[in-house]
């Protein structure tokens, strides 16, 4: 074979190889931006729905929020990421048994102001939201091993319900913790007259000041504290007119279980969380509106 023939064959092979290479799709470098929306609200919380974009959100997502007033005062701009005034919550899709591993178009709800710190969830802002207040939210999908984190969603405005609603509906534990007569000492805006001057938990009677102290005590690993907090909220909502038929048996059983134990920090009583968990969960469902007459969502 002559050199000319060899050169011709090499050139022909190169052309064939070139035209045989399939066109490559544009490289995707970021996760798709999730979608967020306002689902519902109470006086102390807002429920957001977060949905995965075209790439889903297998690693989870984050949510950030500020009051609309703070956002406006900051020049209609967000605080910097490392600013401690910026409220942030992370919902990891990589955590064991996490519910935040989102497929494309798959949605999950998160309750800002009353966050469920389940597997994968963490936040720097555990406080309840303020009633009658406008908030601004945004979110992004977490990075994966192959794609960078998404862009932020457009800003979303949601509002908590006006203060002072009650009667026939229920209010969450955080509402009673924040809005009470003792709060008047340091924050007159949080003054709310409770419908009682004392409550009995088990067979022990507590003053309003003692009840507020219990509501402000971290439950840690003491099931008695967690149960007492939900029981206080349930009894206060019932005292304002909420129908108790969905939890009457649970309240009676909880009081029987607590009996003469004195709840911290008033006393040093203790119950195993495994023993109280079912009662605590049922009362929380009542207080948050999942069962019973429903939470005070826009009711007049």
Which pLDDT does position 298 carry in this prediction? 40
Q: Kindly report, residue by residue over 98-148, the tens digit of the pLDDT.
A: 899 999 999 998 989 878 778 899 999 988 888 889 999 999 999 999 999
Which pLDDT does position 72 carry in this prediction? 97
Sign of CA dihedral 199, 202, 205, 208: negative
What's the CA gap between 91 and 101, in Å, rounded?
9
Give me the residue spans of the domains in the chain.
Answer: 35-159, 173-287
Residue 252 burial (C-beta neighbours within 10 Å; 0-12, 13-18, 19+)? exposed
Interstrand relation of 198-201 and 156-159 (parallel, antiparallel or unpaired): unpaired
Q: Kindly report, residue by residue over 189-226, the tens digit of the pLDDT.
A: 666 778 899 999 999 999 999 999 999 999 989 999 99
Q: What's the gap between Cα 257 and its chain centre?
A: 29
126 φ/ψ sector (left φ>0, alpha ψ -120 to 50, else beta)? alpha
Q: How confident is the model at residue 271 (pLDDT cuts 50, 70, 90)?
A: very high
Q: What's the gap between Cα 284 and its chain centre?
A: 14
**3-class DSSP state of 277:** helix
What are the beta bridge partners of residue 56? Answer: 53
Least confident piece of the model among 18-27, 84-93, 291-300? 18-27
Which pLDDT does position 277 carry in this prediction? 95
Q: Which of 2.60.40.10, 2.170.190.11, 1.20.1250.30, 3.30.43.10 would CATH assign to domain 35-159?
A: 2.60.40.10
Structure tokens at 274: 């495994």
pLDDT at residue 299 tops 70? no
Stronger pLDDT, 228 or 195, i.e. the higher one: 228
pLDDT at residue 27 tops 90? no
Mean pLDDT across the chain:
86
pLDDT at residue 300 tops 80? no
Which pLDDT does position 42 carry in this prediction? 75
């Amino acid at each position: 074979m002559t050199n000319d023939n060899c050169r011709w064959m090499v050139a022909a092979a190169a052309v064939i190889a070139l035209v045989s290479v399939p066109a490559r799709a544009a490289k995707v470098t970021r996760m798709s931006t999730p979608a967020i929306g306002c689902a519902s609200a109470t006086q102390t919380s807002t429920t957001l729905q977060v949905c995965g974009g075209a790439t889903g959100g297998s690693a989870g997502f984050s949510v950030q929020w500020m009051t609309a007033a703070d956002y406006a005062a900051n020049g209609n701009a967000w605080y910097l990421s490392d600013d401690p005034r910026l409220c942030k919550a992370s919902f990891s899709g990589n955590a064991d048994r996490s519910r935040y591993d989102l497929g494309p178009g798959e949605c999950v709800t998160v309750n800002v102001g009353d966050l469920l710190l389940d597997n994968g969830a963490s936040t720097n802002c555990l406080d309840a939201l303020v009633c009658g207040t406008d908030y601004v939210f945004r979110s992004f999908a977490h990075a994966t091993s192959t794609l960078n984190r998404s862009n932020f969603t457009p800003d979303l405005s949601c509002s908590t319900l006006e203060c002072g609603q009650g009667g026939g509906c229920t209010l969450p534990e955080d509402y009673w913790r924040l809005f009470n007569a003792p709060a008047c000492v340091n924050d007159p805006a949080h003054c709310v007259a409770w419908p009682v001057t004392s409550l009995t938990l088990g067979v022990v009677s507590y003053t309003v000041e003692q009840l507020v102290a219990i509501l402000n005590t971290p439950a840690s690993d003491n099931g008695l504290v967690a149960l007492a907090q939900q029981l206080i909220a349930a009894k206060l909502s019932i005292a304002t007119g909420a129908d108790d038929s969905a939890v009457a048996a649970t309240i009676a059983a909880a009081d029987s279980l607590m009996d003469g134990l004195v709840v911290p920090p008033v006393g040093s009583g203790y119950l195993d969380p495994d023993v109280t968990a079912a009662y605590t969960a049922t009362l929380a469902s009542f207080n948050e509106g999942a069962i019973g007459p429903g939470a005070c969502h826009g009711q007049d």
